[in-house]
Structure 1
Amino acid sequence: MAGSTSTRFAVAVHVLTYLAGVRDRPVSSDELSASTNVNAVHVRRVLGPLRDAGIVRSRSGPGGGWELAAGPCDLTLATVWRLVADDQPVLGLHGPDPACPVGRTVRDTLRDLDDSLAAVVVAELERRTVGGVLADLVADTGAERPRGPGECPG
């Protein structure tokens, strides 16, 4: 049976953009949970691979939380995708009956199409950065552009 599309990538981009905009303090999992409208445990699970890759860091205890360790302008969305997408198919493929000739053919055709689409998705994500997402947010909301390490030029 087909599963629903994972939200891990969207949550990761949301959280990274949030952290890029809050450069003066660590941000708690609860605060990130409230912003993303997902459980704090899910937020921490999404951030785990990003922490392991050195993109974010966490501090425990009072005043602790999550911080962006990478420069937002150098952090491509493709990098984030590769870390959190878990090799999920872009199309959300299902598992048809292997004895069915239609199922076998459709599955193979859709796998080939999915591979092609995944390459296009990654190529587009290579062109975009967390800093660019933050710049879009600032432009759309009129919010003050955060200043700090990794600030994008322009």
Structure 2
Amino acid sequence: MGTAIVWFRRDLRTCDNPALLAATEQYEHVLPVFIWAPREEEPWPPGAAQRWWLHQSLERLADALYEDGSRLILRAGPSLETLRELVEESGAEAVFWNRLYDPVSRERDSGVKAALRDEGLEVRSSNGALLFEPWTVETSDGSPYRVFTPFWKACRA
């Protein structure tokens, strides 16, 4: 079945990557993509150490993908615009990614997901980093825990 894009962000690994696994299980062709969009990280753009780590991690990811017979596509620009360009170039039918949980990323991802779905694409985001997503562990009144011990007990229940 067709082509899918896997949008890598902070999850620069091929092992234990739910978005990559879901895409490869559903689609014949998978295009792994990393989009450099530091303006979307504001007000906390990447510093020098983070950029060094990112460079090293992208090299390792590219090597791992190459060993698996694939190639990492690197682009720079606004995420939504760049994903649209990649969909147009590749004929992709779906976009997959692992969720990020900081407020800036959640807002961006929500907009990207809505826009791509409105264009008729399948869009799937996965939990690629947490045992429990923030909205799944709540107090009895539906608010988030403010103290660790009750939170931990709820997680273990």
Q: TM-score, normalised by structure 1?
A: 0.29
Please tell me whether Structure 1 or Structure 2 has the larger radius of gyration of its CA atoms.
1
Bigger strand fraction: 2
Greater RCO (CA < 8 Å, at least 6 residues apart): 1
